[in-house]
Each structure stands twice: as structure tokens, then as C-alpha cells.
């Protein structure tokens, strides 16, 4: 019994376009809602991800305690961005700053 093995490939191919494989950005973007088929701009809800915490910790270690350790929380690109459908208010996808 042989199972086709794709695990050896380091780069997955984008053969099928799936909602799960959409490259979400950290800003509202045009999307098609998989729940209600709404086409339009998504709503973004930001969540401070672990990278923001990591940056915060790094800043504290460097020595600038209060000013710039809060900066990572102000940079939207460092936050997890949840794309919400403005029509049905369901989560359509999320952008994680660590994953490109």
C-alpha cells in the first residue's frame, strides 16, 4: 500500500484557491464572505499577538521601560488582525504577523 507523500516538499503549491489560503493583510481588504457570500471590505479587529509581547519584553531588556515598550501595541502590523464580515459579523480569516 503506497500513500502519495507530499511531506518532502518544502514549498506548498497554491493549486487551489481556498478561503483558508487567502493572504490576509493587517488592514481591511476586499473579500468574499464564506458564510453569507458578501463581497466587500472586511472589518478588522486587532489583537495584540505574542510578537507585540516579545517586542515589549525586548524593549524592557534594552532598558527603555515605559515609552517604547508600549510601541509594539500601537503598530497594527504587529497585531493579529481578525477579518470580520461586516454583513454577518462572522470571522472570515485572520492575519498573524509572524506568518507571511
Interface ranges with Zn ion (CB under 5 A) = 33, 35-36, 38, 85, 87-88
Considering the complex, state which of residue 38 and residue 46 has its C-beta at the smaller distance from Zn ion: 38
Cell matching residue 13: 503549491
Considering the complex, state which of residue 31 and residue 78 has its C-beta at the smaller distance from Zn ion: 31
DSSP letter assigned to residue 73:
G
Considering the complex, state which of residue 64 and residue 90 has its C-beta at the smaller distance from Zn ion: 90
Please count the CA atoms within 13 angstroms of the CA of 57 that sit on its side-chain side: 6
Cell matching residue 3: 500513500
Cβ of residue 87: shortest distance to Zn ion, in angstroms? 4
Amino acid at each position: 500500500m503506497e500513500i502519495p507523500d507530499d511531506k518532502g516538499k518544502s514549498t506548498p503549491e497554491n493549486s487551489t484557491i481556498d478561503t483558508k489560503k487567502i493572504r490576509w493583510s493587517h488592514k481591511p481588504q476586499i473579500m468574499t464572505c464564506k458564510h453569507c457570500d458578501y463581497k466587500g471590505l472586511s472589518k478588522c479587529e486587532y489583537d495584540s499577538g505574542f510578537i507585540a509581547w516579545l517586542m515589549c519584553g525586548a524593549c524592557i531588556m534594552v532598558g527603555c521601560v515605559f515609552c517604547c515598550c508600549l510601541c509594539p501595541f500601537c503598530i497594527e502590523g504587529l497585531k493579529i488582525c481578525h477579518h470580520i464580515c461586516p454583513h454577518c459579523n462572522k470571522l472570515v480569516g485572520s492575519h498573524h504577523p509572524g506568518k507571511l
